[in-house]
Structure 1
């Protein structure tokens, strides 16, 4: 059907469609449907009627747009919309017709005609593929792809239309005779109309400045220019670009433009800095940046520019020292004091630590940069704050500075004063914070904290276990197999995590015994939260470690401190599963090589991870060593019980354990699917089955790993049958009979079979372990894709025969 076409006229809604769209009020959110089909209208109507009856939808009549193309709208939930689209194409395809459906749900905050136009675009894209259905439904939050691509396309179309007026803007040729890159052409009118603009433009292109006044004076005079007003007057296209990058509907202030300058100049530096050895283009870009640096009155450029120009492998063209000299304003400090610019930078660092859970290695590098260039800054009295909460942040900086001193072997009066201030304050912070989260006054805490040994740790742990506040649903979580309680003390936004990071850096600086005791005490209650807190300034955003050597340094320090290897390995597993799949294989082999007692310690530590990281690690163990037993299969009854609890119909007083038992007996082969349906059909809403179903609790064991580690193919197909099939009940003279089951959710069945298919290829050595982590159907060659389709048809037949 790739040769099918839609005329451009359809993009704008015909009058008949406009009449329908005007009927929607500000609360209506209908699904707009476009059907491209070569069947006669009578055939389409019959299929349409059948699908509506099956899926309980309210729909309008078809409006013919052109040959083979029809429009209607319907009101239904996202599940029925999905079923409607696939059922309609299935029925028409089974009769030998070609049919494709594009469904787009209208949001009441958008314009109906925009939604219609976006649906036409979606249909055009669909006709270029082998898919039969394309759906954009914001109600289906798990699969919604958003509408940003359509909004961006509309915005770009408006810009292109408006840029006709920009053709009159004069572009000076490059004196070297080279073609001027398009992003530089866009900015040329902006530069040409600055004071001494022609000389500045010539300077940008050649590095030569020919004007009555020196270049330095010309650049200094630029601080009188308001960037956005100048752009609006002299360079409309660059003005609109500024508004888009600043996300402003009105005129953004000057300081906001400076903050967004890296986005505004991204098209320019992506072209001019693309070639590492193209000195001419690099110098050209830096001269443009010089101009903007002076337009903003020589304020320090945002830190993102330091990353772009000195660190990013694709764009770096300056050393760190060259950047400092060129794009930061020198400032003289008084004797034994820090300069105002350094004070501003330190204040910014302290403020950034207020959201410690978002901090990463960038903050650590900024501390190194700001304090490393000014020894006077190691005097904490020059920048510490008075408020207690802010003092906690300041002490983390102090601990890092102590470690920097240790690394270079520097010990002086500032070091001694800094160590005393950090240590004394940390003692009080830790005691106060733990006490604040206890239900009553802890008897052993203060004495243990000031002790020089770990004697009494066991008694303290027992006491705190009974009085530390934790989440109220602890019992409910334990039913899901969650063995790690969630204590309020370790909240991701609480100050105790920052204190743990301070303990880490203080221990790293001088093997501080108090810091070590606090860390080991925390490991008794929340090992993964403790390790995560201490790793924060080694990480790259919310991902893994910024550099492999940082991970090695971190793990070595904690190992020396006495943190159990099993907990460190579990943390490494969590990072690998989420962010660094290249580490998974080595971790799996380490797990397999453990003896029985050591593996039990690993299991205990791994079971304190989140259910996703835990279950997918065990799945990967099964992939590489299927003969090794893991705790994953122990969660099977929990998965089934949680699954049945969320698909049970409302208003039915039924024991979920009874439903779960019936499902387990079916999965084990003790019951046929028909018997399972007879026991559950009155109580289970099969339309709620999904991967995972709506309301399936986040901490519950994951469903897909349970399917993929089932020992044989038949068991896996029963899982798919449970999720995707149903038998229609017929009542006759008080008796209930069941027809042969059929698939009610083809997309989900395809999704599950795809995973089983790739798992089979892995176990047959037709797919590598690393490729299994990322492969999708789109990655298959035509030959393998044909093999997949044969496999899909074969498995579908097997499911029907079960």
Structure 2
């Protein structure tokens, strides 16, 4: 059986109209009651029955050749396409599912069945529109149901084209369900823009599909005459179009893509107008769409004609002209629903009461009485019961269950289904009063037992062997309501014979499963359970009990981690018994170390392996040397040779941008190794094995110690984190409730060879200044001893610790390090940026990295065009059609510049020499027909020195030299050794303003913005002026740290204390910070249009409102507002209107090019 074979078979006689009618009716009923789909996949196949025989429907069953052709045409438009070999003779075991369109074709052979077919088609459309998600419409892994059947109906009668159009819902996954736009494009090509086809356009709520009826997904090219051009040429048809669109929207509003769209801002009529003509721009960019909407259509702009029509239609309706699908409304209702305390219990109580002896069961939940009712409880299909008796709980099921609503599905997701109930029954006494009317209780302990008794009922009703692992983790590890043994005794089916031994094995294997689950880290709760279990029964420490003999050779890394943990605990407690030598013997085998080596090698480049770049992989001999280092008593390689091998071949856990730019994402000195930092920290177990064994007086400590030393030499801070996470009281962050335990764990790591400086720096990185203020300040004080001149024993010790901390800081995340030094200067001003050579190096390193990211976005030809002030055109630009094109005799290809360089591909250099355009450089051309090419053209004015232009182009191909030039220029400028104008011009040429990237590429890293409040005032001013003026995106320098900068300034001026700054709620200072920033911007002489945009985006601040009024009073508002996009201009107009003195300036925008702006002005002026 294939994955998408159908379990509901609807059999009928293809030659009997009554049998066909019954099949159509049965199909319609399945669609309407939701049973046509199983786990979001269409689950019906129609089969032919003749006498006692039943067979899969074939195209040959359709006697009408025209209808058979329609079916083939429909299949050819699907992602799989039509295939004679696949579709003309369908065998019983073929994974081919085309019975639905064949059913429709068979039924349409009988005129008397047409109405029945139409009813069925409407049910198909209703199902699609109710769900508005192709994820609920799959036929198989490539195709959706319904489209072919509706296409066949539409081809047989064009009046039903709107049904096909309605089927193409707004929320269509065109990545996975691609090609379906071809259905409507096909009818356009077959029938042209007749009124039936235009009706399909009007009834289609999928904007891209409407556009692709004549256009391509990207670009402004068309495969058929655009509907807008047809309407321009046929005024009477345009009148009909507007009337038909009005009738449609009054009858059925346009469906929105999802509930996340902004209701108030939506203009459904404009949607239909924006897809009438080809668009040269990004249809997903608001400003490109706004510009496109302002082009002239027939009587006015597209936007004006659309909004005028919308206003007329809306005047005839009391409801919006757009709507949401039923599924989206349910989603919104679920999102908007805020549970009050007790609502979860209120939803589940009717379900329990509807069970046999429901009242007795609820008494059982309340106080544990009426246990007989629990014992007699039969298995029940819970979803069916909930749907009828507890609709609110059934809605919870619908919200949480993804793949179905069987008892197994409910059991698998029961922790999510009962989330609210669990939360309520964990509440304190005060909150519990809110639901005492539903389930009374006197204490948290009673509520915990009530929750467990409620689970007893679900366990019995669902009749599953066990709850999912997530339930055990919550009850045992998180909530600590049960021990593991108590959990399995209550919620698993343990054989009656030798029950205690079976239970013990159940607990052991649960523990082993967790130790071997490489998708999860080892954590404190798991180690504690292991210790308790082994202490209670020492024979369980023997690995022979963990698997049968046949499986002993398959012991996993998790098994060895548990062995090491037990052995280390025994050693710490000076305990030994008969199990101790058994464990030691297991751990002396090479198997564990070979597994450790192989786990690492999974993240290495190995010759012939997956994703290994040619020439980058380890040879077989090198792989053997790597394994030898882990397993041999006397390895061939020493530690440094091993480190060199790892640094050469290990896959790096780097920050990668633009596909080819890679940077250390932790620190300049600390490489990231993927085998130490994959998403689930697989290597933690190896590190713990080494950590636990390296201190033991046993032979297994020799390889453990060697590997441990290697790992801490490679990544000391990362190793510290992975080991400490196993002992932490928090499941992710390294935190301890017991300070003495924390000290003991860090001392153990220090004894194991990790330098104290790394450990201190790691501890510091775990502190958040605003949450661990006292602790963080103590680190600042400790570091401040680095320049202490006290020569006493204590003074020398403090100074040495500070020096070690300084060294460790170089290996933690850049972001944590720079934050520490920024706060250090505020706490101890002598440690300023200007006095710290290392910080200045870090800034230069970060600046160069950010410039590299920015420079990579602008190609050499764009820089050349910017420098020369020449036009950069598309190959199909109409400008190039104004004069003849010819290829110069000494035409240069890219091979004349840098052989093999692909950046020339798709770029031509052209000179306007008066009577024609002459192409003098670019990719090879056979003829001067650039309009047939794809790419860019630089059009130079006549009289240029071509050799000079090409020489400069060649220089710009050296991206490293360009980066170094820009980087050095900015450094000179910041130091006061280069002029602003010269630096700003170079930055404008080299950087793509829209792609200006000044923040950190990753949260662990630094960006130029990380240093802005650390630089001395002169450098800060120069840096800000350069980037604030270059592009508005330069404001990213301070976007997330304005309040931080303001508070730092207040500390420096002595207006608030350092401690007050750390404890401050930044929300309380946003207004003052905005005023602080604006004063700074004005002092720096920043472009007023950039300041205006900042004020518009931060309109809530009084300082921003005052700046807008000041700009208006100075007569600069209109010119600056031209810089703003439509949405921002609209916000600006509303800002003015809301201020007492602002409305007098609204007339500035009375004739704005955007209809939206004019409407806002009219609303306030009238």
TM-score normalised by structure 2 residue count: 0.47
Determine which of 553, 578, 593 is the counterpart of 2:744. Answer: 553
* Equivalent in the alignment of 1:647: 854
Kindly indicate whether residue 556 of structure 2 is the aligned counterpart of residue 252 of structure 1.
Answer: no
Decide which of 449, 459, 462 is 1:293's aligned counterpart: 459
Correspondence 1:564 to 2:755 = yes
Q: Which of 352, 358, 365 is equivalent to 1:204?
A: 365
> Which residue, out of 445, 466, 485, partners 2:644?
466
What's the offset of the Cα at 1:368? 3.9
| Corresponding residue of 2:809 | 606
User: Which residue of 674, 684, 708 corresponds with 2:1013?
Assistant: 708
Equivalent positions of 1:66-105 (< 5 A) are 76=282
Does residue 342 of the first structure (1) align with residue 497 of the second (2)? no
Runs of 5+ consecutive residues of structure 1 not aligned to the other structure:
1-12, 31-64, 86-112, 119-147, 164-178, 210-214, 727-741
- 2:488/2:506 contact within 8 Å kept: no
Tell me how far 1:272 sits from its aligned partner: 3.6
2:384 is aligned with 1:229: yes
1:659 counterpart = 2:981: no
Match for 1:188 among 336, 345, 349? Answer: 349
Tell me: CA distance 1:67–1:699, structure 2 relative to 1, closer, same or farther (3 Å): closer
* Structure with max Cα Rg: 2
Contact in 2 for aligned 1:690/1:748 (Cα 8 Å): no
Change (3 A) 1:479 1:558: closer
Q: Distance in 1 between matches of 2:329 and 2:972?
A: 48
Structure 2 residue aligned with 1:529: 718
Partners of 1:685 and 1:557 lie apart in 2 by 52
The CA deviation string for residues 35-79 of structure 1, in whole angstroms up to 9 with x for no partner, is: xxxxxxxxxxxxxxxxxxxxxxxxxxxxxx999999978965999
User: Residue deviations 1:670-697, cap 9 Å, x none?
Assistant: 344323223332222222224428xx57
Kept in 2, the 8 Å contact 1:522–1:530? The answer is yes
The equivalent of 2:708 in structure 1 is: 519
| Aligned match for 1:153, one of 332, 337, 348 | 332
Q: 1:24 maps to which residue?
A: 207
Q: Describe the superposition over 1:612-662 as per-residue Cα deviations: whole angstroms up to 9, x where unpaired.
A: 333333333333333225522212222222222232322231611111122
Q: 2:688 maps to which residue?
A: 501
**Match for 2:731 among 512, 537, 541?**
541
Match of 1:382 in 2: 545
Query: Structure 1 pair 311/389, CA: closer, same or farther in 2 (3 Å)?
Result: closer
CA distance in 1, matches of 2:573, 2:583: 16
8 Å CA contact 1:500, 1:530 repeated in 2: yes
Distance 1:68 1:479 in 2: 42
Residue 218 to residue 380, structure 1, CA distance change in 2 (3 Å)? same
Which residue in the other structure is 1:484 paired with? 670
2:527 is paired with a residue of what secondary structure? Answer: helix
- Are positions 1:624 and 2:790 aligned together? no
Listed one character per residue, the Cα deviations across residues 510-533 of structure 1 (whole Å, up to 9, x for unaligned) are: 687423343123222222232233
Seen in structure 2, the aligned counterparts of structure 1 residues 273 and 432 have a Cα distance that, compared at 3 Å, is closer
Compute the TM-score of the two structures, normalised by the length of structure 1. 0.66
The Cα shift of 1:766 comes to: 5.0
* Counterparts of 1:721 and 1:753, CA distance in 2: 16
CA shift, 1:366, in A, is 4.3
| Alpha-carbon separation, structure 2, partners of 1:747 and 1:569 | 32
> How far apart, CA to CA, are the structure 2 residues paired with 1:83 and 1:710?
41
CA RMSD in angstroms, aligned pairs only: 5.0
Q: Which moved more, 1:465-474 or 1:715-724?
A: 465-474
Q: CA deviation at 1:325?
A: 6.4
Deviation at 1:306, TM superposition (A): 6.2
Whether the 8 Å CA contact 2:630–2:707 is kept in 1: the answer is no
Once the two structures are overlaid, the 10-residue window that deviates more, 375-384 or 281-290, is 281-290
Higher mean C-alpha displacement, 273-282 vs 192-201: 273-282
Cα distance, 1:342 vs structure 2: 2.6
Q: 1:114 to 1:707 in 2, by over 3 A?
A: farther
Assess, with a 3 A threshold, how the Cα gap between structure 1 residues 256 and 566 changes in structure 2: closer, same or farther.
farther
**Count of aligned pairs between the two proteins:** 640
Find the aligned partners of 1:76 and 1:771 in 2 and give their Cα distance.
Answer: 48
In 2: Cα distance, 1:603 partner to 1:374 partner: 48
For the residue of structure 1 that corresponds to 2:643, the secondary structure is helix
For the residue of structure 1 that corresponds to 2:376, the secondary structure is helix
Give the CA deviation at 1:254. 3.0
Q: 1:450 to 1:299 in 2, by over 3 A?
A: same
How many angstroms does 1:710 deviate by? 0.6
Work out which structure has the larger RCO, using CA pairs closer than 8 Å and 6 or more positions apart in sequence: 1
Residues 674-685 of structure 1: pairs in structure 2 closer than 5 A: 674-685=981-992
Tell me, in whole angstroms, the C-alpha distance in 1 between the residues paired with 2:810 and 2:967.
Answer: 24
> Which stretch of the first structure deviates more once superposed, 659-668 or 533-542?
533-542
Match of 2:395 in 1: 240
Change (3 A) 1:536 1:592: same
Aligned residue runs from structure 1 range 391-430, under 5 A? 391-406=556-571, 410-424=575-589, 425-429=591-595
